[in-house]
Amino acid sequence: MRSELLEESDTPYHCPWKGDTQYFSVKDGDTLLRDRAWSYPTPIPTSFDRVGKDFSGYVAFWKEVSVTE
pLDDT tens string 7-64: 999 999 999 999 999 999 999 889 999 999 999 999 999 999 999 999 998 999 998 8
Number of C-beta neighbours around residue 26 at 10 A = 20
CA distance 44 to 46: 6
- What pLDDT is stored for residue 1 in this prediction? 65
pTM assigned to the model: 0.85
Ordered structural domains, the chain, with CATH: 3-61 (2.170.150.40)
CA distance 52 to 33: 29
Name the CA radius of gyration of the chain, rounded. Answer: 13
